[in-house]
Amino acid sequence: MIRNPILPGFNPDPSICRVGEDYYIATSTFEWYPGVQIHHSRDLVNWRLVSRPLNRAAQLDMRGNPDSGGIWAPCLSHADGKFWLVYTDVKRLDGAFKDTHNYIVTCETVDGEWSDPIYVNSMGFDPSLFHDDDGRKWFLDLRWNHRGKGTGGNPKHASFDGIILQEWSPERGLFGPATNIFGGTERGLTEGPHLFKRDGWYYLTVAEGGTGYNHAVTMARSRRIEGPYEVHPEKHLITAAHAPEHPIQRTGHGQYVEGHDGRHWHTFLMGRPLSTENGRFSPMGRETGIEEVVWRDGWLWLKEGGQLPRAEISADAKPAGPAAVEHSFGPGALPAEFQWLRSPFPERIFRLSDRGLTLIGRESLGSWFEQSLVARRQEHFVYTAETALDFAPKHYQQAAGLTTYYNRHKLHALILTSEPGIGRALTILSCPGDWPNFALTHPIAPVSVGDGPVELRVDVDHAAQQFYWRQGGDWQAIGPELDAAVISDEGGRGEHASFTGAFVGMVAFDTSGSAAEAHFTRFAYRPS
């Protein structure tokens, strides 16, 4: 049984390719480092993270990138005996302007060392690379019109000015005419183009409707790569916009792949929102799903009809159930499930040794530049996470602890610091979406803590979370029950400014500039 999402937790914009009987999916990572996640499967049921290819400064440096900037919508393909990865590094996304730089890297093996990037352009975002059967390569991306409505742009899309096609080669870069091949449907916000060819037709799939609850996969075709493109009889291959009670929501932005066994599939991003009295919230962000499709009359259709993807699809393999993950930190590499923020220089943020995982206190929890935060994705509605911390802060500007984190203005943190007149103490920092008014929005009297290691825990149950601590005895609750729905796409500033997902992990900061070090000896994540 295939169970959607196939990649739970923050894994949006899935680009899929097949090499023999091996399937690979690349997903966006935004400001989290290293950039791009690539998962592998041979049965479409069980997937394993095999690569984060953008892992050095020559490929990616996101210091200063805003929340939800960074790596948008990668495109993964295989041709000429190697893998090709196209990606965008977004330096600005708010307001009229979007500063979006597009690159291509290659590697003969998906888990090898990927090349230095080839710069392509900065016209827009969501680029892809199409390898035609005559050996030519074509680059597609959205052209962004910062002038907006009434400026000669696409009247249906305002700033979304259409999908631009241009020939490209590694030797020459972009060359030949740049053609606007598709303006989209009335749903608008046309982005995320992917081309493929079948039976003499060029097929184009795009994402439309924005990445919220109006999202959709739209399909079009043409006999000529430059167009004109006619739209699918139903316009949208996949969408849940008309079915708000369906368990899978926000469906769109994916890619077609033909299976090695003759079956046909289309990936899509999706959300599993919580319904609360204050609306719908997606703590896991945008995840990756897949649905079987069939060909009929020269078009793709969902195998079971309609436009709603299923939560379960029959398959030959059995999915693994949720399992607890526990790490005792020591010398070696950081466990694969963890990432950090923005910086290509992790040695300035953390190190692993006999003392465990040492976080080097840098800038604040609100920094866009150098933040010591090592965390993993939330993948379940109900879970417990805990860690053990050894830290000797000298004053209140030095702090370390456990955090549930979405971005710099949506977070909760239980921190160990030093308070005047108290000494070592535990307190809670919380910013429920109202940045820049970062504050102790749930003030508690600091809890005095004796010398030695302290264990910290958080229990998350759908829209509620509770912190705990202990030091050799039983777990003790600390602070009030907090709103976990804030740690979501729609929390705080809302879905249109938030594209990632909830994380839970370890953090340290030292705003005095002294780089105080905090030592974490273990971390556990236990779904329920």
State the Cα angle at 220 between 82 and 235, rounded to 5°. 130
Tokens of 154: 């696409």
Yes or no: say if 401 and 516 are a contact pair by the CB < 8 Å rule: no
Rounded Cα distance, 85 and 76, in Å: 5
Q: Which residues 6+ apart lie within 8 Å of 341 measured at CB?
A: 31, 32, 33, 62, 371, 373
- Tell me which residue of 220, 49, 30 sits closest to 125, measured CA to CA: 30
Residues, the chain, total? 528
Query: Distance of CA 466 to CAs 48, 370, 383, 385, Å?
Result: 31, 28, 11, 11
In the chain, the largest separation of any two C-alpha atoms, in whole Å, equals 77
DSSP 202-245: EEEEEEES-SSTT-EEEEEEESSTT---EEEEEEEEEE-TT-TT
Q: What is the DSSP letter of 339?
A: B
Q: What is the DSSP letter of 362?
A: B
Cα 210–chain centre separation? 16
Rounded Cα distance, 253 and 217, in Å: 6
Q: What is the DSSP letter of 495?
A: G
Q: Which of 337, 363, 370, 481 is catalytic?
A: 370
Q: Which residues 6+ apart lie within 8 Å of 104 measured at CB?
A: 84, 85, 86, 117, 118, 120, 129, 170
Q: Is 370 a catalytic residue?
A: yes
Kindly list the catalytic residues: 370
